[in-house]
Structure 1
Amino acid sequence: MSTTIALVVRPRGKPIKNLPEETTVGREDSAAELYKLIAASSKISVHRLKITKGSDGSAIPNSSSVTVQDTGLRNKSTIDVKDLGPQISWRTVFVVEYLGPLIIHPIFYLLLTRPPSELQTISLLMIMLHFLKREYETLFVHRFSLATMPALNIFKNSAHYWLLAGVNIAFWTYLPSAPTAKAANPVFKYAGVAMFVVGELGNFSNHLTLRDLRKPGSTERGIPKGLGFSLVTCPNYMFETVAWLGILSVNWSLSTAIFAVAAVGQMAVWARKKEMRYRKEFGAEYKRKRFYILPGIY
């Protein structure tokens, strides 16, 4: 049996009803167990809590692989507990985000096209397949390192897909006067479809690789290897870019270009952060990448 220690508990920010002034936990217990103890005492969801050390404000992870002793807490140490407010699962947020284009595009396609052109139909199919794939990955492929996010974030996160990828692209793609209403250029049509297929398959392959780096219920990751990982930090973003360039080659819509630029810009920020994290986390074991998302460009 591990030696127990007493911790002084303080609220951080707004008061938390039923928060104990002190709690007892084993030195060899996991940090996740500490979260469960505080949650049970406070009668609040464990996902709403953030615990930090009173001495320096450093975060204590809600992790089963980190012990209380590993965090540096000792007998009579002080911990600060913050209520993060209502939370919602990352998986739910992703499902809702991607649902927007899946609802909006068929509605605009049916209402605006008279009759639909070949390019308008191909555009619809490509976008539907793209977001159906994302929904599938959300439900059956992705493993999330964090269980929840603030509930209100669902509105901010969904706006990007419901408005920019949904209403924005759909309206300008399915209008009778849109470039997609004209006769298809075989070169751009077939090249676009080919780029889309390569991009989606490559992206899916990368997501399977990334999933297998993390065991179920774990936040630990390994160094990704495989398709494209020797070229850039995040080949999944590279293939995502290729897929959207394929869609743009088919519909030649400024609205699609605007969404693609916004999406690639955000992915570039994420990719650079991931490269920095890999360098810090794995040190000399990790082969540093010169390009984060697009070989020879960025």
Structure 2
Amino acid sequence: MSASTIELVVRPRGRPIKNLPETVSVSRDASAAQIYEAIAKASRFDINRLRVTKGSDGSAIPNASDMTVHDTGVRHRSAVDVKDLGPQISWRTVFIVEYLGPLLIHPLVYLLRPYIYGTSAPASSLQKLTLLMCVIHFAKREYETLFVHRFSSATMPIQNIYKNSGYYWVISGLNLAYWTYGPNSPAARPSNPLLALIGIVLFVIGEACNYSTHVTLKNLRRPGSTDRGIPQGLGFNLVTCPNYMFEAVAWVGVALVNWSLSTVIFIILAVGQMGLWAWKKERRYRKEFGDKYKRKRYAILPGIW
């Protein structure tokens, strides 16, 4: 064994992994990802199912190319614990599936109005406008998933696809569509043109600014890396996650167009969940960047939350 090569003691954690080696050898100057690759190769196991932690303190060893083995703190004969995370699915696939639900459900419910509601009355202009807004929103989400977002982790547990898809397909899909396109929906009745115009403006501003923040976040991470920078630019001086703030603005615009209680319920649930994610991100930024990061008082809604 050369002076630059170290041997790590591999220990199983949780469910057993067949063929898990007792030791692996890696170069101290190699990337931390080499630890994962060595274990996966020796055990002939899916690398995305592995979670490797230091035996000394249980802290995670990142599957990263921008950190060396030496930088992780492990040394010759250090113990590492290996856990099987179970069947995985890519984050990108999950996002595509969850957004595909409402993207298809809204047009289907709209087109099947005569069969669902038993009416031959034409849809109102506000119902048509709501349909257009929802299709634009979720089509934009799909585009961002395919061409904008960069994910810090390649995969997530496969069972998450059912939870995530259930939320989007039911709450923002069936729930919004059913109560919006029916003949008794508030959107089926005449509304204040000024409020509808304000709703359209808020929707356009919210979607455009949301896209801008997603591009900013994308550019913080180099392709193939998991490193992050401190986000700056539109909205980031106000709240931790302006992408969530602008998404809320867009959906308030939809609510001003269709005046449906189902949309209000969706907004409350969505803002609640995004707020929790935003506070977690705020704590992570403070821990990761220390004094370099300007702490935010509000995570998602200026002056409120």
Band the TM-score falls in, shorter-chain normalisation: over 0.9
| CA–CA distance in structure 1, aligned partners of residues 36 and 113 of structure 2 | 53
CA shift in 2, pair 1:189/1:2, >3 Å? farther
Quote the residue 1:88 is aligned against. 89
Q: CA deviation at 1:56?
A: 2.1
TM-score, L = length of structure 1: 0.97
3-state SS of the aligned residue for 2:56?
coil
Shift of 1:154: 0.3
- Residues 197/61 of structure 1: CA separation in 2 closer, same or farther (3 Å cut): same
Is 1:57 the counterpart of 2:64? The answer is: no
Identity of aligned residues (%): 64
| SS of equivalent residue, structure 2 residue 122 | coil
Does 85-94 or 75-84 show the bigger shift?
75-84
| Number of the residue aligned with 2:181 | 174
Change (3 A) 1:153 1:17: same
Partner of 1:59: helix, strand, or coil? coil
- Which of 184, 190, 195 in structure 2 is aligned with 1:183? 190
Q: How does 1:92-241 map to 2 (within 5 A)?
A: 92-112=93-113, 114-241=121-248
1:281 counterpart SS class: helix
Gaps of 5+ in 1: none
Q: SS at the partner of 1:222?
A: coil
- Alignment map for 1:41-56 (pairs within 5 Å): 41-56=42-57
TM-fit CA distance, 1:184: 2.9
Residues 194-231 of structure 1, C-alpha deviation per residue, up to 9 Å, x if partnerless?
11001000101111111111111111111111111111
Question: By how many angstroms is 1:284 displaced?
Answer: 2.0
- What is the CA deviation profile of residues 167-192 of structure 1, one whole-angstrom value per residue up to 9, with x for unaligned ones? 00000001111111112320111111
The answer to whether the 8 A contact 1:118-1:184 is kept is: no
* Cα distance in structure 1, aligned partners of 2:86 and 2:285: 31
Which ranges of structure 2 fall in alignment gaps of 5 or more residues? 115-120
In structure 2, give the amino acid aligned to 1:75. H
Given the alignment of the two structures, is residue 16 of structure 1 paired with residue 17 of structure 2, yes or no? Answer: yes
Counterpart CA distance in 2 for 1:295 and 1:13 is: 43
1:27 corresponding residue in structure 2: 28
**Correspondent of 2:297 among 274, 284, 290:** 290
The answer to whether the Cα contact below 8 Å between 1:2 and 1:28 also exists between their aligned partners in 2 is: no
1:131 Cα shift? 0.4
CA–CA separation in structure 2 for the residues paired with 1:88 and 1:242: 31
C-alpha spacing 1:36/1:174, structure 2 compared with 1 (3 Å): same
Return the letter of the residue paired with 1:164: I
1:192–1:250 CA contact under 8 A, matched in 2: yes
Q: Which amino acid aligns with 2:289?
A: F
TM-score by length of 2: 0.95
Contact kept in structure 2, 1:2 and 1:27, CA below 8 Å: no
Once the two structures are TM-superposed, the CA of residue 30 in structure 1 deviates from its matched residue by 1.4
In structure 2, C-alpha distance between the alignment counterparts of 1:245 and 1:187, rounded to whole Å: 15
Partner of 1:68: 69
The match for 1:271 among 278, 294, 297 is 278
**Deviation per CA, 1:18-61, whole angstroms, max 9, x where unpaired?**
11111111111211011001101111111010111222222111
In 2: Cα distance, 1:285 partner to 1:36 partner = 33
Structure 1 counterpart SS, 2:26: strand
Q: CA deviation at 1:2?
A: 5.9
Partner of residue 118, structure 2: none
Farther-moved stretch of structure 1 (242-251 vs 178-187): 178-187
Partner of 2:249: 242
Root mean square deviation of aligned Cα: 1.2
Q: How many residues of Structure 1 are paired with residues of Structure 2 in the alignment?
A: 298
Deviates more, 1:76-85 or 1:98-107: 76-85
Secondary structure at the aligned position of 1:60 is classed as: coil
> Which letter maps to 1:213?
L
